[in-house]
Amino acid sequence: MRHHWLLLRICHWALLILVFVGTLSFFRLVDGKKKSLLPVVVTAARWERWFAHCDVMCVCLFPTDYGDRGVQSWTGPRPKPVKASDPKAHVFQPTLPPLDPEWHSVNEKRIELLTSMCRNSSINNLTHVSISKFVLDRIFVCDKHKILFCQTPKVGNTQWKKVLIVLNGKFPTVDDVPEKLVHDHSGNGLHRLSSLTPQEISHRLNTYFKFLIVRDPFERLISAFKDKFEQNPRDEPWYNEDIAPMIIGTYRKSYWDGVLTPSELHFEEFVHYLVDVGVRRRILDQLFTNRIIHWMTYTELCAPCEIQYSAVGHHETLEKDAPYILHAAGVEGLVSYPGFPPDITRYNRTKVEQYFSGISKQDIRRLFARYQSDFHLFGYPRPDFLLN
């Protein structure tokens, strides 16, 4: 059975690569000049679906819940998403409130919950991941002050990276760090833990101050969807030009009624991709490379049950967590987290309800199943208002 499956997967991949390469050269031949990769990826996604169907028919091995749903494709360029101005940009306040003396015990309770949930055998298979290179890639190192920070995208990480860049001594204050440099890891002096030797890594994991920031898992998914597919304020064309068409190609319901025109990725299709436990999502994830970090679980990103974090910040209470973390890490006074009006980080139930209003209960339950480790480990309540 295992062999059979492996063989099938290898065939599957080989065929997909053949089709991909074949289509690529076909487009080159036809045009004689390089074109957008979009038609190729859409075609590849379509063929991948076809093979998935074939696998199911032949061997009945892959359950495909969205199996009867078709493919839509187009060849024209997608319209550029409208660039929304960042509302946070011009409302920053100069500083955050001072350290709340109560916050030490708040953090202690969070760490206790994390530790006890990691021991809970009923969710064991969801909470434990190995400290792989993927995880070590997510962790940034500040040797000067013995701090490790695990990056969880869509949770205000850019500001924390700036804080670490300042602590590393490259710039005097957070405001001096150029926006472009924050994500340029060759130029900003902020190293990933994966760049060190195994001995250096375990020494740092055992002795440094380690922290991560989390927020409500569903609200984070909405934020990822908005930021990458609806607004795309950082001008990252691959989300709407490569990733969205492949998700649409694989999960869009209407096969024949749609005309071949470009359209936006719907939140519903994004959810279908996220809840797919079959081979198709694994293939897409491979093709999307590490851009999937925007919707991977905190568990997959930071291995919180394997790495003993010293502090867990919550986005919803960041105005209290930021001063606490700087204090606990021993760098209070050396750098300050940029101020912001607290209500922009608060949980917004109306927004969550709006986004999920078009999603079926079954899909919401599946989505909760996939992200439940994040809810349990970090004390976020089960969203009963969506599930019941």
Ligand X SMILES: *[C@@H]1O[C@H](CO)[C@@H](O)[C@H](O)[C@H]1NC(C)=O
* CB-nearer residue toward ligand X: 343 or 384: 343
| 334 backbone φψ class: left, alpha, beta (φ>0; ψ -120 to 50) | alpha
Residues 197-226, mask of contacts with ligand X (x by CB under 6 A): ------------------------------
Q: How far is the CB of 58 from ligand X (least distance, A)?
A: 25
User: Could you tell me the two tokens for 329?
Assistant: 């890490």
Q: How far is the CB of 69 from ligand X (least distance, A)?
A: 24
Q: How far is the CB of 352 from ligand X (least distance, A)?
A: 9
Of 163-171, 265-273, 278-286, 345-353, the window that binds ligand X (rule: CB under 6 A) is 345-353
* CB-nearer residue toward ligand X: 21 or 369: 369
Q: Tell me: does residue 384 bind ligand X (CB under 6 A).
A: no
Q: What sign does the dihedral 131-135-137-139 (CA atoms) show?
A: negative
Rounded Cα distance between 99 and 95, Å, is: 12
* CB-nearer residue toward ligand X: 154 or 376: 376
Q: Tell me: does residue 350 bind ligand X (CB under 6 A).
A: yes
Among 55, 228, 376, 386, binds ligand X (CB under 6 A): 376
What letter represents residue 223's amino acid? S
Among 31, 179, 235, 343, binds ligand X (CB under 6 A): 343
Q: Which of residues 78-137 bind ligand X (CB under 6 A)?
A: 116, 120, 122-123, 125-126
Rounded Cα distance between 340 and 336, Å, is: 12
First to last CA, the chain: 38
Phi, psi for residue 248 in degrees, rounded to 5: -60, -45
Phi, psi for residue 219 in degrees, rounded to 5: -65, -35
3-class state of residue 19 by DSSP:
helix
Q: How far is the CB of 116 from ligand X (least distance, A)?
A: 6
Strands (E), the chain: 139-142, 147-150, 191-192, 209-214, 311-314
The residues binding ligand X (CB under 6 A) are: 116, 120, 122-123, 125-126, 343, 348, 350-351, 354, 376
